[in-house]
Structures are given as C-alpha cells and as structure tokens.
C-alpha cells in the first residue's frame, strides 16, 4: 500500500474485494510532510478499517436471509461501514 493510488484494495482469499476510493489530496504550494499519505500510521488505520468492514460483512452474510452472491443492502452494514470510516479514516 505504499504506492500512491486513488484506491486501496483489501485482497481476500475469496472472490470478494473491498475498495477504499478517495479523492486525491488537493495540491498545495508547500509540502510539509510528503510521507504522511503513506506513513505507517495511515496504512495501519486503513488496514484496521478494512478488517472492521470485513468482520461486519461476514456477520451480515451469515444471516439466514442472505443468499450466495446476493448484494448486501443492509442499512445496519452500511452504518457499521460509516462508523468504521469515522473511527479510522
């Protein structure tokens, strides 16, 4: 994840991929700390975000009402993703 990219994927050992899409930082005239976007703390926060989203997703698809390859439309799942984003990003 150390390369600069507009998306950061979480690769799983299954056919599901979570993507974190974000807008590139606004250009500034002075760069105070160019390594901030790829600092170990930032990468760890992104990793923790993905782990929390993955755990919420697993709990959601374990529902007896979920069918294989069905789109996850749960407002509870969406709320957990938003909460994780506020917590880690």
Alpha-carbon torsion angle 49, 52, 56, 58, nearest 10: 110
> So what's the pLDDT on residue 7?
56
Q: What CATH number has the domain bearing residue 45?
A: 3.30.450.70
- Evaluate whether residue 33 is within a structural domain: no
Question: What residues contact 80, with CB distance under 8 A and at least 6 apart?
Answer: 52, 53, 56
How many domains does the structure of the chain reveal? 1
- Evaluate whether residue 14 is within a structural domain: no
Q: Name the residue range of residue 73's domain.
A: 39-89
Q: How far is CA 45 from CA 14, 30, 32, 55, in A?
A: 23, 25, 21, 15
Q: Is a pLDDT exceeding 60 seen at residue 23?
A: yes
d(CA 49, CA 83): 10
- Evaluate whether residue 28 is within a structural domain: no
Higher pLDDT, 18 or 65: 65
- Evaluate whether residue 23 is within a structural domain: no
The stretch 39-54 carries a mean pLDDT of: 88
Is residue 42 a contact partner of residue 22, using CB atoms and an 8 Å limit? no
- Evaluate whether residue 3 is within a structural domain: no
Mean pLDDT rounded to a whole number for the chain: 77
The stretch 53-69 carries a mean pLDDT of: 88
């Amino acid at each position: 994840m150390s390369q600069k990219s507009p998306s950061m994927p979480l690769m799983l050992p299954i056919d599901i991929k979570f993507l974190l899409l974000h807008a590139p930082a606004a250009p500034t005239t002075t760069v105070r700390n160019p390594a901030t976007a790829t600092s170990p703390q930032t990468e760890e926060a992104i990793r923790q975000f993905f782990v929390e989203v993955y755990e919420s997703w697993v709990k959601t698809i374990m529902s007896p009402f979920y069918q294989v390859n069905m789109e996850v439309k749960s407002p509870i799942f969406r709320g957990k993703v938003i909460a994780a984003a506020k917590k880690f990003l």
